[in-house]
Amino acid sequence: MLGNFSYYNPTKLYFGDESLNFLKDELKGYGPVVLLNYGSGSVKRNGIYDQVVAILKEAGKTIVENSGVMTNPTLEKLHEGVKIARENEVDLILALGGGSVCDYSKAVAASVYYEGDYWDKFWLKQENPAKDQRLLPVGCILTMAGTGSEMNAGTVITDAEHTFKVGHVFDNRLMPKFSILNPKFTMTVPENQMKAGIYDIMNHIMEQYFSDFDDNTSDYLSEGLMRSVIHSSRIAVKNPQDYEARSNIMWTATWALNTLIGLGKQQDWMVHMIGHSVGAWTHAPHGYALASVSMAYYRRAMQNGLSKFVRFAKNVWNIQSNGMTDEQIAEAGLQALKAWMLEIGLPLTISELGATDDMIAGITEGTICYPAGYLNLTKSDVTEILKESM
CATH classification of the domain holding 52? 3.40.50.1970
pLDDT digits (tens, 9 = 90+) for 362-376: 999 999 998 888 999
Number of domains in the chain: 2
Instruction: Say how far residue 291 (Cα) sits from the centre of its chain.
Output: 13
Percent of the chain whose pLDDT exceeds 90: 92
Average pLDDT rounded to a whole number, residues 130-136: 97
Confidence of residue 227 (pLDDT cuts 50, 70, 90): very high
Assess whether 211 and 281 both reside in one domain: yes
Q: Which of 161, 186, 211 is the last residue of a domain?
A: 186
Instruction: Encode pLDDT of 59-71 as tens digits.
Output: 999 999 999 999 8
Confidence of residue 221 (pLDDT cuts 50, 70, 90): very high
Q: Give me the mean pLDDT over the 325-332 stretch.
A: 97
Query: Does residue 4 sit within a domain?
Result: no
| pLDDT-based confidence at residue 345 (cuts at 50, 70, 90) | very high
Could you tell me if 182 and 201 lie in one domain? Answer: no
* 326 in a structural domain: yes
Question: Is residue 180 located within the same domain as residue 202?
Answer: no
Residue 341 lies in a domain: yes
Last residue of a domain, one of 137, 152, 186: 186
**Domain match, 169 and 124 both:** yes
* Nearest C-alpha neighbor of 384 from the set 374, 369, 107, 372: 369
Q: Does a structural domain hold residue 295?
A: yes
pLDDT at 41: 83
Query: Structural domain of residue 78, as residue ranges?
Result: 12-186
The string of DSSP letters for 3-63 reads: ---------EEEESTTGGGGHHHHHTTS-SEEEEEE-SSHHHHTSHHHHHHHHHHHTTPEE
Alpha helices in 239-359 (DSSP H): 243-256, 270-282, 286-304, 306-317, 326-343
Final residue of a structural domain among 186, 206, 241? 186
Please tell me whether residue 304 adopts helix, strand or coil conformation. Answer: helix
pLDDT at 213 over 90: no
In a domain, 3, yes or no: no
